[in-house]
Amino acid sequence: AQSVTQLGSHVSVSEGALVLLRCNYSSSVPPYLFWYVQYPNQGLQLLLKYTSAATLVKGINGFEAEFKKSETSFHLTKPSAHMSDAAEYFCAAHNFGNEKLTFGTGTRLTIIP
Amino acid sequence: ETGVTQSPTHLIKTRGQQVTLRCSSQSGHNTVSWYQQALGQGPQFIFQYYREEENGRGNFPPRFSGLQFPNYSSELNVNALELDDSALYLCASSPAPGTTSNEQFFGPGTRLTVL
């Protein structure tokens, strides 16, 4: 069964610094991959998705992620952190033919002024 | 275009009671999925409904049940509530299963507290 691992439950970066949030999937067949953001007391908002087209995916709010099959990874980056980026970030995988999204446990991003 | 809506926003129940949560899917979507997000965890798949039929189920007991209506809105019912059922319940809608990417659009969630 598919599993998604997010390394680092908490990440702190200074405002203006690079943001790097890590995500690895387990399946031998590359799934579709998603990054969602969750602000306090809110639902999930899609940041970006990989669907087997370009391996470098650009999303909203300046985020991007690179799919690397050899590393079974889909890490999320942003060149310059902003205070408004403070939130919980979830990586999720969907294997075609399966109805569900499998989520990682999330990474809480804190921005230091 | 109307997004996914859920009601109620918050709910407090006592152990053993029953609860019904409601979800309206995004316009044009005929598939609804339900997820449970415990505090500090990622969402866990409960089940999915497509054209009023259950189309897949996660590792949840039968006391978690659902319905989908002809207008594609959905209900999640939980019987015999337990303390561990306290969580944020998220509804997500999507186009028909089998379409590419299965992008799911989430509602704001219902926060259920079981005392």
pLDDT tens digits, residue range B29-66?
889 999 999 998 999 999 999 989 998 999 999 999 99
8 Å CB contact between B26 and B4 = yes
Categorise residue B108: left if φ over 0, alpha if ψ from -120 to 50, beta otherwise: alpha
Instruction: Provide the mean pLDDT of chain B.
Output: 92
Residue B101 pLDDT class (50, 70, 90 cuts): low
User: Residue A89, CB half-sphere, CA atoms under 13 Å: how many?
Assistant: 32
Contact A103 B48 (CB under 8 A): no
pLDDT for the residue A106: 96
Percent of chain B with pLDDT over 90: 77
Contact A103 B43 (CB under 8 A): yes
**pLDDT, tens digit (0-9, with 9 covering 90-100), for A36-90:** 999 988 889 999 999 877 889 999 999 999 999 999 999 999 999 999 999 999 9
Q: Is A67 on the interface with B (CB under 8 A)?
A: no
Q: Greater confidence, B112 or B103?
A: B112
Residue B76 pLDDT class (50, 70, 90 cuts): very high
- Chain A and chain B share a number of CB contacts under 8 A equal to 66
* A96 pLDDT above the threshold of 80: no
Least confident range from A7-11, A21-25, B100-104: namely B100-104
The alpha carbon of residue B26 is apart from the nearest alpha carbon of chain A, in Å, by 14
Q: Residue A49: is it exposed, middle or buried by C-beta count within 10 angstroms (0-12/13-18/19+)?
A: buried
Residue A2 pLDDT class (50, 70, 90 cuts): confident
User: Cβ contacts of residue A59 below 8 Å, gap of 6+?
Assistant: A35, A46, A47, A48, A49, A65
Q: Is A90 on the interface with B (CB under 8 A)?
A: yes
pLDDT for the residue A89: 98
Number of other residues whose CB lies within 10 A of the CB of residue A40: 7
Nearest to A23 by CA among A43, A2, A38, A42: A2
